[in-house]
Chains A and B, each alone.
Chain A
């Protein structure tokens, strides 16, 4: 008896399912692609899934809360590119790419591209290629809000008691070492949050890295910290793609220029970094 009833239910279900699929017949079965066959854009568009690396711990650019997609300017740039590929926001798969693993993640194909406050430099260009820059950051200095003694990196040359903190293996760490005179004057941790703890404790006098990262911390605790606002390096942020994938790189460069011209870039900026810093007046992508 029971068996009979279950078959009946199953039969009804089959009919209902059949009707539903009939109604959808005019929609495409798989995502199609407007791109030339064999290009990276074509592959991603057809797969319908876009693997992207961002930072998850950098306010304003790439910051991820619990059980949410990351947020920030880098993420907005990702969304602009994803839209051009025909990928919906929820089909973008974000991976956390900490500084150490970025090149390896691209080379191994684990991610299709990386937008992660990623400074373009020659050493990195030997292993991957960069589109952009989509923003030019610069190394700056963050100090306690009431500190007036530190005016620029030169202070570390003249006053060896002033300690400055950065992250092990980072470009800013290498740069600030040029200004340091005493051993132990540059204090290095694995993450910037420890630098901030050390600054709050007055164990260090300053924290240095790219200005936008510092601004992110100021945005969280504006009554404790300030940024000097005098960048002393040029850090062009690029979008990392597989080495020698010139087609993909050029295509991304086109989009960056287009987005800057048509206001999408401004919208992305205003939504994220806008409250802290003015938008760049111009951007010059580097086509190589």
Chain B
């Protein structure tokens, strides 16, 4: 477990070191192990957030993770690309106003960020399959796994070296009273605007369309500066009426004391009193009335 559970008092900051090292070792072992060496396929990283590493000839072409915005989220949330442009980019391969190099760079950013996010969370297991899965966008030039691991290690170390390191998946942040969006720069202002007390730095990054690592680092500094506070663990905002009676199935109706006489119209289940059926139905549907023997 990389992120210890937060304690229930203000400004408690989680030590990242121990568990994150385990997550890093598991990912590093899988990426540099025998299975993934010069392999083409998919490395499934199970955990929270976990992720998928797309490999081609041993190089990483893309990493997707629930813990970090992908290329599409980075481009769409910032308004760099419109919905229709993205849809046509996926279907026809035309990029509109976006250049191929720019797409490559954004995908590389997203890939590094996903690796950081996976390692900052919990990794339970890594398993490689030679099956190639579809990725929305892949890089034109693959990243060497060792380079990616070095960069990820550098990011984790930098985060740990900060005064108040935050886990991007655990600590939920709220703006301190002193913080006003107007007085802060664009990045800090955006973080304060999205820090509702329910969001982690990962959630803030998604809401702002920014990468998780820079948002987390900036949020750590803002905690140190007293602009953000860490919200205690059980912060579920519970709303709704409080019914006193528990939900139960409706009781079956009491059995009628005298069973009714058997139907005399061949099981006709029209919900009308029997006295009316013979009067109304022939008129409504122009059916000839059945003759009784």
Do these two chains really belong together in a complex? Answer: no
